[in-house]
Structures are given as C-alpha cells and as structure tokens.
Amino acid sequence: MNKDFKEYSICTDAQAMLKKARVEGIETVWDRLLEQQPHCGFCELGLSCRNCIMGPCRIDPFGSGPQRGVCGADADVIVARNLGRMVASGAAAHSDHGRDLVETLHAIGEGKTDDYVITDPEKLKRVAEEVGVNIGGKDDAAIAKALAERFFADFGCMNGTLSFIDRVPEKRREVWAKFGITPRGIDREVVEMMHRTHMGVDNDAVNLCLHSARVSLGDGWGGSMIATEVSDIVFGTPTPRVSKVNLGVLKEDYVNILVHGHSPIVSEMVCAAVQDPDLLQKAKDAGAAGINLAGLCCTGSELLMRKGIPMAGNHLMTELALITGAVEVIIVDYQCIMPSLVAVAACYHSKIVTTSDKAKFTGATHVEFSVDNARAKAREVVEMAIEAYKNRNPARVDIPVEPVELMSGFSNEAVLAALGGTAQPLIDAIVAGKVRGVVGIVGCNNPKLKHDYVTYNMAKECIKRDILVLVTGCAAISTGKQGLLMPAAAEEAGSGLKEVCNALGIPPVLHVGSCVDNARIIHLCGLLAKALGVDISDLPVAAAAPEWYSEKAVSIGMYAVANGIYTVLGLAPPILGSKLVTGLALNGLEDVVGATFAVEADPIKAAELVDERIKTKRKALNLTP
Ligand code: BF8
Ligand code: SF4
C-alpha cells in the first residue's frame, strides 16, 4: 500500500485510520486487493464457468484458444449465465431480507411476539387496502396477519404476480408483457434462474438476459419493496431528521456499539436496549459516561432514517471503525459484512456479534435473535459491550475527526408531505426546468476506486446542473460525509434547484434510505409517470452506481434498466467477454425496455451522461432541455 493515504479515500477519517492500521500492522481490504493483483482475466470478462464438473472451463478472449466449454457453451452463453446468477444472488439477498420482515409482521399478527409492534397502523391499513386485503372489521393484528400472508404468497407464485404490480404504470407493464418479463413470484424467478443456468437448460444468451430482467423486477417491485413497506409499518415511516456522520460519531468516554448489516429487525432492538436505565447504570459503573449507538452501512441507514441514530460510515469504513480502538461491539445481521472484521476486532478488545443462523462468522460470538427473544438478546449484547469496555486500551484510541451534520428520512410519504401532499409541485418544478430531472445515485464502495470520490463528485456535479439527487445505501453516506445532505448544500446547486430547495427547506441531495429502499425510488418514478400519463422510460430520470461492488447492486441496476431508467455504472460488470451481452447492455436493451447501461468511472463524465439523457427525455416531452 502506498504511503499517501489520500490515494485511497477522500475522507480524512479513512486516511487517518489507514495510517493507524499501517503503524499497528493491521491488514485491511486495500492490502488484500493488492495481494490479489492481477485478478484472473477470464473471470473479469465473465468467460470462466464452473457450473459443472466436466469443467471448470474458460474461453480464450483472443480467439486462439478454446471457444467453447466442454459442454459446448460459447462465450455468450457463459457470460449470460454468470450474469444471471449474479442477479439471482442479489435478488435473493434483498428478498430474503424482505421475507424476514414479513415473518416479523406475521408474528405480530399472531400475537407471537411482545417485542415487535405495529408502529405505523395508518400505513398498515393503507398498504393492506392497496394490495386488496379486506380490512373491514379487523383489528391491527388481524390486518397484519392477513397482509403478511398476502406477501408470503408473493414469494412463490400463489398470486401469479406481485402484490405491488398496480404501482407499475400501464405502459411499463405492456413492455414487460411483450417481452415476457413480468415477474410471477419473487422466489420463483430466482429458482428458475438457477435452473436455467444448470448445464444444458437455457443456452440462448438473449433469453437468459431477459430472464435476468424478470428476476430483478421481482426484487425491485417484490422483495425489496416488501422489505421497505413492512419495515415502515413495523418500525415507523421515516420523516426528515438531522443527525451526524463519520467516525467522529464515536465517543471516547462512552461504550460504543455499532450495528452493521441490513435488516432493522436486530438493530431496532439494540436501539431500544441502549436506552434502558439499568444498562446505562451498568455502563456508568464500568467507568463509561454512557452508551453510544451508531450505525454502519444499510442497517445504519434504517436507524438513521427512522430514529436519527448517527452513522459511523459505509462499506469501506467498517474495518476502519474498529481501528479507532474505541468500538466495543459490532452487532451484525447479514450482507456486506467483511469476514475480516473478526480478525481486525481480535487486534483490539472489540467483539463481533452475529445474530442470524444464516450468517455465522467463525471466531465471532453468536447470539441468535428471534421474534420471541429479541429484546432480551439485545440486552445481553449491550451487557457484553459494557464488559468489553473494561478491557479497552485508552492508549490505542484515536477518534480522528469531528462529525458532520446530515439530514435523512426522505421516505416518499415525507417527500410528498414536504410538497404539500401531492407530487404536483415536483412535476411543476420539472416542467418549469427548475429541477431539470432526477437521478438516483446509489450503491457501494469498492476498493478498486478511490473511496467516496466518484459518488461524491458525481452528486456534486449533478446538483450544479439542476438535477435533484436521491441517494441510498453507501452512496448516501458518501455524500453525507461531504455535507451534501444538509439544506445549506443548496448553495452548491444550480439556481433552479437552489430555489426549490430553499423554498422547501430541503437539501439538494435527499437520503431516501438503505439499498432495499431503492424500491422507494422506483415507486416514486411510477407515481410521476402515472401523473403525467407516460411510461417511466419517458421521464427525465436516470440512475447511477458509481462505486458498486455487490451482486445486489447488479440486481438493482438490472431492475432500474428494466423499468426504463438509464443507469451509469462506475465499473463494468463481468460481461465484456461477450460482444452480444455487452452490446445488449450498452445499446440493444434500449429497443426492448427503453433504457441501457453505460460505464463511466469519471464522475464529471458520468454526470454529463446523465445530463444528456435528461436533455433527450425533456425534449421528447416538449420541455426546455
Ligand atoms: O445494500 S450499498 S456495500 S451495505 S450492497 Fe452493501 Fe453496497 Fe453498501 Fe447495503 Ni447496498
Ligand atoms: Fe464447462 Fe459447460 Fe460445465 Fe460450464 S457447464 S463448467 S462450460 S462443461
């Protein structure tokens, strides 16, 4: 690793902790990336296959070596199969998270838990009515049970389609029907992808790509949307609130507990436990001033959006948070939790606590959470953190920065409320050209790109061009750390966007949630398209995942495009080994679903691509470009 830590991240907290890691001899994700160089070129192009034991096989991209695997599959089929499996894994992750929420809702409905309750009964009724659940004469518990059962049916194909299908504009549904990509059930599409990619099933690259689109739509309008809506019902629908972000949210004289992962089911209980007067007293008896809770990654965003709990950092900050030496416990659920956290924690007094039997980490402490013990288990983990605090070595503590303020909580309900109850003022601002368009900048960090650099600079460039930016996941944290999530950032926006933000008192970059909350963005696009009587692909909107790394991001990107939303990726997915699949992704899909992917790692050029798309769409709607 180079000594100039500014090459790795734009964040001063990251740079300081990378330096400390170097001094203390602790390995991080950047060191391991270097060790892995050069990456396998076949795998980077998507040209390797290990779907059966006649292989593994690889295709020579230069044409002089093998052009077919042992079974006869060519480059196009191998690339399309690999991409399909990435989408299936990403969709499965979001959707299995959604299922956990539905199980919690069902347990509430059946009276099997005292720990979880319905926090937003109005939304429970609204959503139940929307998806056709009869609520007449039923109490909240009965509605919760009926709604959960309705959603359970979405996972197989008991309903034949998704509960939220009516949120999709008619014209978009016609496109899906024409190409046979209407999702029939969430799990069904994932399972079918695993079937199709077995040796000797679907051997047509275009057909495989179309099914990838269908799998991803089952995620966006199914698993992710259910995760979002049920989280709101159980834990509350987010409203705008100010909090703080970066490693400066850790407090030197407090017991510091971090929650990391994705599902609010565990983190919400931890949030309740840290307020327990008994536990606070125990922390004080251990010599601490109190207990400090902060979040990492998406479960952090869930708590930030609903409770204003501060955010310690995004994906590439998770190891670095431990390197402050000030973290007693990281409680994790699942997804995006680097296995290396266990080794980094072992260099300090810190503990990693796993909570789900589907996500165990060798060397971590496992405390299984379930609907009937969650409150008690959360207390147990907080007590563990208090014990760990006694072993903290103050000489190794370094909290390198002061926290930055950020505003969060922009659910669609909150956005519409800020607009006076309907989307019309936003439509008027778009028509008038004050807000020229909207871009969702989402996704991860990836050590292959300078941490937060592409995401932050792209967002900054977009707001300058009067493009309203919606952020989720790790991208939200990237922009928050640089101050873009505060209303004052409107000063950096173009004059039109600045005027709208100042009138509404909102930032030019709106934090709409975690990665499953990308469902909020497509829902909003659906509402706008319906209000204008057009398809989503006609809207002056775009999406970007500048620093993506995960299979979940592939599913999100795929459903954005399948919804007709042009999507710019900072890194190419492993498809370049197939001219056919690459051509489809970059051009061909325009004729199918009305949108394509683009790949651009330069943040200004990426913003220009988004701007060009918005200009084209505005012209087609007879609006000034
Ligand atoms: O679901 S943005 S690194 S934490 S995958 Fe993961 Fe990517 Fe972060 Fe959340 Ni989303
Ligand atoms: Fe090789 Fe075909 Fe087996 Fe893949 S499925 S490993 S290409 S033989």
- Going by the DSSP 8-state scheme, the letter that residue 541 receives in this structure is E
Angle, helix 264-273 to helix 297-307, in steps of 10 degrees = 60
Residues with CB under 6 A from ligand 2: 49-52, 54-57, 69-71, 73, 78, 199
Does the pLDDT value for residue 414 go beyond 70? yes
Q: Under CATH, which number does the domain 241-396 receive? A: 3.40.50.2030
Place of tokens 């070129």: 41
* Strand 351-354 versus strand 365-366 pairing type: parallel
At residue 223, the pLDDT reads: 98
Indicate if the pLDDT at residue 2 is higher than 70: no
pLDDT averaged over the chain? 97
Which ligand does the CA of 546 lie closest to? Answer: 1
- Cα(547) to centroid of ligand 2, in Å? 31
Does 128 contact ligand 1 (Cβ within 6 A)?
A: no
Half-sphere exposure (CA, 13 Å, Cβ side) for 263?
Answer: 31
DSSP class of 59: -
The stretch 61-73 carries a mean pLDDT of 97
Amino acid letter for position 169: P
Confidence class of residue 548 from pLDDT cuts 50, 70 and 90? very high
Domain 75-235 falls under CATH 1.20.1270.30: yes
Read off the tokens for 433: 């050209």
How crowded is residue 37: how many other Cβ atoms within 10 Å of its Cβ? 6
Using an 8 Å Cβ cutoff, are 250 and 324 in contact? yes
Give the ligand whose atoms come closest to the C-alpha of residue 316.
1
CA of 328 to the centre of ligand 1 (A): 23
298 lines ligand 1 (CB under 6 A): yes
Among 104, 139, 133, which Cα is nearest to 121's? 139
Taking the CA atoms of 615, 557, 547 and 471 in sequence, report the sign of the dihedral they define: positive
Q: How far apart are CA 419 and CA 415, in angstroms?
A: 6
**In the prediction, which pLDDT does 130 show?**
98
| Max CA distance (Å), the chain | 72
Residue 536 has pLDDT above 90, yes or no: yes
- pLDDT tens for 233-252 read 999 999 999 999 999 999 99
Nearest one of 149, 212, 211, 161 to 186, comparing CA atoms: 161
Q: Is 230 in the pocket of ligand 1 (CB under 6 A)?
A: no
Amino acid identity at 491: E
Contact 548, 448 (CB under 8 A): no
**409-620: same fold as 241-396?**
yes
Report the distance separating Cα 623 and Cα 602, nearest Å. Answer: 28
User: How far is ligand 2, taken at its centre, from the CA of residue 70, in Å?
Assistant: 6
Instruction: From the CA of 72, give the closest atom in ligand 2.
Output: 2
Q: Is the confidence at residue 94, as pLDDT, over 70? A: yes
Write a three-state SS string for 213-233: HHHHHHHHHHHHHHHHHHHHH
Question: What average pLDDT does range 596-619 have in this prediction?
Answer: 98
* DSSP assignments along 492-528, one per residue: GS-HHHHHHHHHHT--SEEEEESSTTHHHHHHHHHHH
192, two tokens: 């079918």
CA distance 301 to 310: 9
Q: Cβ(117)–Cβ(108) under 8 Å? A: yes
Contact 190, 532 (CB under 8 A): no
Mean pLDDT of 205-230: 98
User: Can you give the pLDDT at residue 114?
Assistant: 95
Q: What sign has the CA pseudo-torsion 27, 364, 309, 544?
A: positive
- CA dihedral sign of residues 236, 240, 242, 243: positive
Residue 553 and residue 473: Cα distance in Å, rounded?
10
pLDDT at 347: 98
User: Would the pLDDT of 4 be above 90?
Assistant: no
Check residue 584 and report its DSSP letter: I
Atom of ligand 1 nearest to the CA of 443: 2
Amino acid at the residue 527: L
Mean pLDDT to the nearest integer, 431-460: 98
Report the nearest atom of ligand 1 relative to the CA of 93: 1
Ligand 2: distance of its center to the CA of 154 in Å? Answer: 33
Contact 113, 101 (CB under 8 A): no
Q: Which of 27, 187, 174, 9 is nearest to 92 (CA)?
A: 187
Is the CATH code 3.40.50.2030 the one for domain 409-620?
A: yes
Residue 157: per-residue pLDDT? 78
Q: How many CB atoms lie under 10 A from the CB of residue 32?
A: 12
Is it the case that residue 458 has pLDDT exceeding 90? Answer: yes
Measured over the CA atoms of residue 85, residue 86, residue 91 and residue 94, the dihedral's sign is positive
Give the whole-number percent of the chain exceeding pLDDT 90: 98
d(CA 265, CA 310) in angstroms, rounded, equals: 18
Please list, in sequence order, all residues whose beta carbon lies within 8 angstroms of the beta carbon of residue 25, skipping any fewer than 6 positions away. none
Starting from the CA of residue 314, give the closest ligand.
1
| Test site for ligand 2: of 43, 50, 208, most ligand atoms within 8 A of the Cβ | 50
The answer to whether the beta carbons of residues 258 and 329 sit under 8 Å apart is yes
Beta bridge partners of 332: 260, 354
Are the beta carbons of 414 and 515 closer than 8 angstroms? no
Is 297 near ligand 1, meaning CB less than 6 Å away?
yes
Position in ligand 1 atom list of the atom nearest CA 553: 5
Question: What is the pLDDT averaged over residues 102-130?
Answer: 98
Could you report the per-residue pLDDT of 483-525, keeping only the tens digit for each? 999 999 999 999 999 999 999 999 999 999 999 999 999 999 9
Alpha-helical (H) ranges within 274-369 are 277-285, 297-307, 318-323, 340-346
- 41: pLDDT confidence band, cut at 50, 70 and 90? very high
Residue 579 is predicted with a pLDDT of 98
Which pLDDT score is estimated for 290? 98
**Would you state the pLDDT for residue 160?**
86
The domain segmentation of the chain, as residue ranges, is: 39-66, 75-235, 241-396, 409-620
Tell whether ligand 1 has an atom less than 6 A from the beta carbon of residue 516: no
573 cis-preceded (ω within 30 degrees of 0): no
The predicted structure's pLDDT at residue 294: 98
Q: Measure CA 145 to chain center.
A: 27
The owner of tokens 């931890």 is 270
Q: Give 288-312 pLDDT, tens digit per residue.
A: 999 999 999 999 999 999 999 999 9
Question: Is the torsion defined by CA of 572, 512, 312, 407 positive or negative?
Answer: positive
Q: How far apart are CA 89 and CA 338, in angstroms?
A: 17
Measure the CA–CA gap between 236 and 239, rounded to whole angstroms: 9
pLDDT band at residue 159 under the 50/70/90 scheme: confident
Angle between helices 224-235 and 140-155 (to 10 degrees): 170
Distance 551 CA to ligand 2 centre (A): 22
pLDDT recorded at residue 158: 76
pLDDT in the model for residue 189:
97
Instruction: Report pLDDT for 139.
Output: 98
CA of 294 to the centre of ligand 2 (A): 46
